[in-house]
Amino acid sequence: MERRRLVRVPASSANLGPGFDVLAAALALHLEVEVIETGRFAIETDLDIATDRRNLCVRAFERLHPSEDFTFRISSEIPLSGGLGSSAAAIVAGLMAADHMFELDADVFRLACEIEGHPDNVAAALYGGVCVCAVDTVTRIEPPTGLEGLLVVPHEAVRTAQARAALPEQVPMADAVHNVAHVALLTLGLARGDWDLVSRGLDDRLHEPYRAHLYPRSAELVRDARALGALGATISGAGPTVLVWSHYEQTATVAEQLRARTEGWAQVLRVPFETQGADVRAIA
């Protein structure tokens, strides 16, 4: 009987404003990978991704088991560029498929971090919710009821390497202190469900100002989000996607204004925060 597993992994938004390389949230857009023991290697997908062993999902699978006897069927709702954790989702999916299929009890989080290079997106993809990453420790916060996200996904991507190169090697002490304070406000606000603290806690000085020239329209939306009725907005990962934070009662109005503001250059998606992390199941 052929072995067969279906893995479903959420998208993620890293940094969440002040939490550079520390905070990330899972979002309700998903990657699905079906891995089937067919006796031959193949990748079946409509996505514009590698269809050989360079494929991230396959590379992750091969960290735990050879892939030559398996067919990978890959579909995804996650935009492939823009800072929504598509690579982390693929890595987690490949590792979880192999780990579950062969009952290996592997340290999926550690292996995924090794492949991805940083823990934030991986943690959110694996565990769901809002994740706080400190070295090799992940603490999960349940998103408060009523918190929703709107994604503004520009049609033009910005290369992650370009976004990383824009960051300075050193930052002023005052900016570091500012971010420490705002991470504390944001995490406390999320834990308490305090909308005022969440709104006040979204401000960043460590990465968003230095990258604003790469996507000026996205940066302008971050600045204007509260005026549109949102709690605030953050650049998702390295950008240029914007995560607009909203209370559910305001989300429809905010979405309407965002669509008017972004017509012709971006897509607006209403995307809940996702409490469920990666999930894998056997298929008979």
Q: How far apart are CA 52 and CA 166, in angstroms?
A: 32
Do the annotations mark residue 84 as ligand-binding? yes
Can you tell me the distance from the alpha carbon of 153 to that of 272, in angstroms, rounded to the nearest whole number?
15
Tell me whether residue 82 is annotated as binding.
yes
123 strand-pairing partners: none
What are the angstrom distances between the C-alpha of 170 and each of 49, 51, 176, 207? 36, 40, 10, 11
Structure tokens that stand for 172 in this block: 């002023």
Looking up tokens 């202190």 gives 177
Q: Is 80 annotated as contributing to ligand binding?
A: yes
Q: Is 86 annotated as a binding residue?
A: yes
Longest CA–CA span in the chain (Å) reads: 62
Question: Residue 75 contacts by C-beta under 8 Å, 6 or more apart in sequence?
Answer: 31, 32, 45, 46, 47
The answer to whether the annotation marks 172 as part of a ligand binding site is: no
Relative to beta strand 242-247, strand 147-154 is antiparallel
Rounded Cα distance between 48 and 38, Å, is 23
67 is in an annotated binding site: no
Residue 81 annotated in ligand binding? yes
Cβ neighbours of residue 122 under 8 Å, at least 6 residues apart? 88, 91, 92, 109, 112, 113, 116
Binding-site annotation: residue ranges:
79-89
Binding-site annotation: residue ranges for ATP:
79-89
